[in-house]
């Protein structure tokens, strides 16, 4: 007999030393919601929910978790991860539809699902990537993310010094700046490293098509979220017109849409984020869809310690994961919250092997970045 006896959350927040410009809004703080699930076996599992945008996302997430999610899982059997995932989706997706907000609902469910996988690991004394069977790899390729729009050459030099062989730049700041970013990055990297670019949905179809020759000139291997709205028919039209390989997935919700993307010849790379799309369970389903069509999976990862550790575990259990995004900017919610955080060597990370997330969390460091929330109430 095993039951979830308590569900808690913490809002983590810390200023980032190098505020990150995006084509839509800057990111000046790193934030995440950490979910902790206790069981009557005396175990605690940790999960993470993504709240980078909007700046007030923490308030929404605290309410959604406390009022919508936690009452549905206390008392449930944590060993049946699929059943909990299905029941949360069945109960909350209809509310998300009415709300026009499938994303926040899935981002909240993500934290619970990751915590359940962490619990499964602790219950068996294994890293979560060993819970469901053998690992498919012991070493994960990572790519450096993201350079620009300022200090591109200096950031690229740091990537070269660290041995990264694949690097992503941010675009969507206007044609002149975008060309400068690509030129500075390629100028420092030289011809060999792979160069990726992320437009964060900055362009319409004509603007994206006009960027294609520039992207080709700098040998950009794929363009991420090129189009405002991220609609598949338009992405397919862009691909037809330009032949550009397209990456997307960090703002996609629901396995049905991931399956349509996986099946499209326009989409070369799927980028589910385990702290957004619905946890490890949903990401494994995305990997299955990707495998059926030979599409590569490069999970989106721009969060904190738990998302980082759990994404490495996903990569160790899912063959379609070709590489994982590795945040090279100041991130006070990632390495400082881990005991002995892994650092890429020549663009690779050996998959950690401690029980659960693979890497123990530094509880004192987590306490230091836990921010009080205005609506502190007794938790279920
Ligand atoms: Mg992106």
Query: Which tens digit of pLDDT belongs to each residue from 289-322?
Result: 999 999 999 999 999 999 999 999 999 999 999 9
The distance from CA 53 to its chain's CA centroid, rounded to whole angstroms, is: 13
Round to whole Å and give the CA distance between 258 and 249: 7
Which residues lie closer than 8 Å to 292 by C-beta, 6 or more apart? 262, 263
Round to whole Å and give the CA distance between 139 and 323: 10
What per-residue confidence (pLDDT) applies to 22?
76
Query: What's 65's DSSP letter?
Result: I
What per-residue confidence (pLDDT) applies to 270?
98
Going from the Cα of 209 to the center of ligand 1, the distance in angstroms, rounded, reads 19
Going from the Cα of 349 to the center of ligand 1, the distance in angstroms, rounded, reads 21
> What are the φ and ψ backbone dihedral angles of 282, each rounded to 5 degrees?
-70, -40
Going from the Cα of 114 to the center of ligand 1, the distance in angstroms, rounded, reads 21
Round to whole Å and give the CA distance between 348 and 332: 21
What per-residue confidence (pLDDT) applies to 375?
56
Round to whole Å and give the CA distance between 106 and 116: 15
Which residues lie closer than 8 Å to 334 by C-beta, 6 or more apart? 30, 303, 304, 305, 308, 327, 341
What per-residue confidence (pLDDT) applies to 374?
58
- Domains with residue ranges and CATH for the chain: 4-125+363-371 (3.30.390.10), 130-350 (3.20.20.120)
195 - beta bridge partners?
167, 220
pTM as predicted: 0.96
Going from the Cα of 74 to the center of ligand 1, the distance in angstroms, rounded, reads 34
Going from the Cα of 276 to the center of ligand 1, the distance in angstroms, rounded, reads 13
**Contact call for residues 159 and 181 (beta carbons, < 8 A):** no
Going from the Cα of 250 to the center of ligand 1, the distance in angstroms, rounded, reads 7
Round to whole Å and give the CA distance between 362 and 51: 21
């Amino acid at each position: 007999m095993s039951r979830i006896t308590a569900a808690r959350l913490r809002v983590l927040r810390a200023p980032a030393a190098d505020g990150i410009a995006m084509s839509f809004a800057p990111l000046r703080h790193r934030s995440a919601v950490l979910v902790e699930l206790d069981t009557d076996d005396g175990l605690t599992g940790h999960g993470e929910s993504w709240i980078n945008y909007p700046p007030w996302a923490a308030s929404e997430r605290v309410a959604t978790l406390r009022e919508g999610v936690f009452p549905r899982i206390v008392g449930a059997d944590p060993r049946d991860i699929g059943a909990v995932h299905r029941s949360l989706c069945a109960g909350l997706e209809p509310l998300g539809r009415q709300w026009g907000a499938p994303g926040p609902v899935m981002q909240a469910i993500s934290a619970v699902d990751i915590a359940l996988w962490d619990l499964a690991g602790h219950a068996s004394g294994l890293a979560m990537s060993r819970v469901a069977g053998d690992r498919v790899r012991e070493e994960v390729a990572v790519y450096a993310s993201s350079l620009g729009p300022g200090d591109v050459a200096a950031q690229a030099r740091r990537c070269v010094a660290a041995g990264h062989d694949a690097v992503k730049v941010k675009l969507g700041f206007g044609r002149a700046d975008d060309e400068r970013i690509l030129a500075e990055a390629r100028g420092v990297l030289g011809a060999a490293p792979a160069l990726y670019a992320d437009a964060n949905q900055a362009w319409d179809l004509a603007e994206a098509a006009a960027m294609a020759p520039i992207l080709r000139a700098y040998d950009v291997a794929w363009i991420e979220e090129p189009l405002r709205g991220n609609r598949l028919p338009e992405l397919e039209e862009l691909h037809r017109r330009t032949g550009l390989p397209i990456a997307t997935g960090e703002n996609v919700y629901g396995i049905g849409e991931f399956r349509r993307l996986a099946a499209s010849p326009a989409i070369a790379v799927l980028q589910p984020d385990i702290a957004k799309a619905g946890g490890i369970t949903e990401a494994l389903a995305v990997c299955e869809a990707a495998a059926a069509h030979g599409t590569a999976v490069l999970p989106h990862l721009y969060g904190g310690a738990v998302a980082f550790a759990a994404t490495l575990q996903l990569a160790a259990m899912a063959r379609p994961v070709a590489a994982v995004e590795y945040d090279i900017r100041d991130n006070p919610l990632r390495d400082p919250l881990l005991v002995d955080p892994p650092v890429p060597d020549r663009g690779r990370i050996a998959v950690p092997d401690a029980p659960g997330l693979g890497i123990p969390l530094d509880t004192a460091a987590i306490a230091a970045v836990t921010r009080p929330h205005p609506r502190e109430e007794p938790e279920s």
